[in-house]
Amino acid sequence: MTPEAILELSAAQLARAIREKRVTCVAATEAALGRMKAVHPRLNCLVRSDDELALAAARLADQDLARGALRGPLHGVPMAHKDMYYRRGVISACGSKILRERPAASTATVLERLDAAGAIQFGVLNMVEFAFGPTGHNWHTGHVRNAWDPARITGGSSSGSGTAVAARATFAALGSDTGGSIRLPAHFCGVSGIKPTYGRVSRAGAMPLSFSLDTVGPLARTVEDCALLLQVIAGADARDPTCETRPVPDYLGALERPIAGLRIGRPRQFFYDDCDPEIAAAMQASLETFRRLGATVIDVDVPDIAPWNAASTIVISAEAAACHGTWLRTCPQDYSEQVRGRLEQGLAVAAASYLDALRLRGVALREFCAQVLSKVDLLHAPVVSFQTPTIAETDLGAGPEAVAMLGRTTRLTRPVNLLGVPAVSVNAGFTKAGLPIGMQLLARPHDDATALRAGHAYQQATDWHKRAPAG
């Protein structure tokens, strides 16, 4: 198989091809490294590639396979991940200046699980400074650029992950989602992503932003790939006390079940306020596809979400400020102006306000399940409501315009983090300008499988996810 043909495969298809010995692990790794090096100058998506280590690991993986030893479901699949997953002895700068020289003390649980499943990490990907921003700007490492139009934002904070997957430069990538940081790059870059249920995936060894809201999940070319990676990384972990101990469902098996009879909700309020007509039309068309697949689409009233969004902001601000307090006191000049501003304001959040925001979470989830997820299996909504802006248009410094833009960008994603429910983001079409449009599918807590099943069924009936950017 040629490198170009290998790069056209999804992670699941590549894993199958490797198992069937149609592709070697070395060939797959060389193809990914080659594509990454070709696209990085245009996209600024890579922090570092570990060519020799990755190729050595690939050779070993090929030797293992030759003697019949299959390490796991991701045997030989090359991947690069957001630069916030620690590997013992290796530097994870987390998009910052502050951590540029600090080697990690231990390896992230998710990396250990991917290693054990046979995946080969060949590099680390650019990200927003300390994952605290939704556009993809980074004033230390350079702004990451969208593979569909390098003048435009990728979304963030998993900016490198989103654009590298879109550019076929990695078969999948870990991201993280505290206020939308998986779903936004998935939307803007036209790839698939899942923000799992809070607590489903261990956060041990992952950079913290807001420990009450942080979730770890994959971005990939298909929902099937997301299910494959989630299957590997989910599950109890003694190193993360918030990690759920219930058994991990069979996500891949769930994909095979038809969605006929599934009830999909279309929100009457909030999610379509001031929505761009092209995005609204793509949402409507995707609902029609679900109807054709046998799902029932039901209009549903949603509770008042604005206070939840505000509470989410309060939680992120206060928790991030707590994590960064020492550095804000000792080296504030080492933050970019924008991130420093976002962090410092959290120091002014009163303890009672922060606790009220956390007290509101349970109430919000109770109301959301009672009013929405008792009537439908999934809530379907856009990820963002406006056309993809340019990097220059959203490079607004730290003033009120920047604050408004940031709030607008995460308006439809932040409440999902407060609720802690799973959300799959799937490409649902393109604008007339040729830029991707994403939808998100929200499910009940720990019903990640249903969101994945619907997203996969949608991709079996459409071909948006098969389109790749030029170059």
Partner 1 sequence: MEKDLTTECVVATLAAQGVVTEPARAQKYAALLSAVLKAAAPGYARLAFEEEPAGFTVEQKRNAP
The closest alpha carbon to 135, from 361, 377, 413, belongs to: 413
User: Which residues are CB-contacts of 359 (< 8 A; sequence separation ≥ 6)?
Assistant: none
What Rg, from alpha-carbon coordinates, does the chain have? 21
Binds partner 1 (CB under 8 A): choice among 446, 462, 467, 468: 446
Three-class secondary structure of residue 328 per DSSP = helix
Residue closer to partner 1, measured from CB, 2 or 333: 333
Q: Which of 387, 188, 379, 384 is CA-nearest to residue 278?
A: 387
Residue of the chain from 21, 100, 102, 366 that contacts partner 1 (CB under 8 A) = 366
- Tell me if 307 contacts partner 1 by CB under 8 A: yes
Is the separation of the CB atoms in 255 and 453 below 8 Å?
yes
From candidates 103, 142, 258, 325, binder to partner 1 by CB under 8 A: 325
What is the Cα–Cα distance from 419 to 402, expressed in whole angstroms?
Answer: 26
With CB under 8 A as the contact rule, the residue among 313, 409, 413, 425 that binds partner 1 is 313
Q: Pick from 98, 287, 293, 398 the residue near partner 1 by CB under 8 A.
A: 398
375 assigned to active site: no
Q: Is 253 in the site for partner 1 (CB under 8 A)?
A: no
Size of the site for partner 1 (CB under 8 A): 49
Query: Which one of the spans 46-54, 227-235, 285-293, 444-452 is the region binding partner 1 (CB under 8 A)?
Result: 444-452
When the beta carbons of 74 and 243 are compared against partner 1, the nearer one is 243
Q: Is 199 in the site for partner 1 (CB under 8 A)?
A: yes
Catalytic residue among 96, 181, 192, 212: 181
Residue 348 interacts with partner 1 (CB under 8 A): yes or no? yes
Name the minimum Å distance from CB 91 to partner 1. 27
Strands 436-442 and 378-382, bridge-based pairing: antiparallel
CB contact burial 393-410 (16+ within 10 A = b; e otherwise)? ebbbeeeeebeebbeebb
* Under rule CB under 8 A, residue 403 binds partner 1: yes
CA dihedral over 255, 19, 72, 463, signed as positive or negative: negative
> CA 14, CA 76: separation in Å to the nearest integer?
9
Task: State which residue, 9 or 320, has the beta carbon closest to partner 1.
Answer: 320
Q: Which backbone phi and psi does 326 adopt, to 5 degrees?
A: -60, -45
Q: Work out whether 98 is an interface residue with partner 1 (CB under 8 A).
A: no
What is the chain's percent helix, strand, coil content, to nearest 5?
Answer: 45, 15, 40
When asked if residue 347 is in the footprint of partner 1 (CB under 8 A), the reply is yes
Instruction: Decide if residue 341 touches partner 1 (CB under 8 A).
Output: yes
Looking up tokens 């494959």, which residue turns up?
228
Which C-beta is closer to partner 1: that of 290 or that of 354? 354
User: Active site includes 97?
Assistant: no
Q: For tokens 């989602």, what's the residue?
A: 177
Binds partner 1 by CB under 8 A, chosen from 103, 399, 434, 471 = 399
The residues annotated as belonging to the active site are 82, 157, 181
Residues that bind partner 1 (CB under 8 A): 197-199, 246, 304, 306-311, 313-314, 317, 325, 328-329, 332, 341, 344-345, 347-349, 353, 355-366, 369, 373, 398-400, 403, 420, 444-447, 450
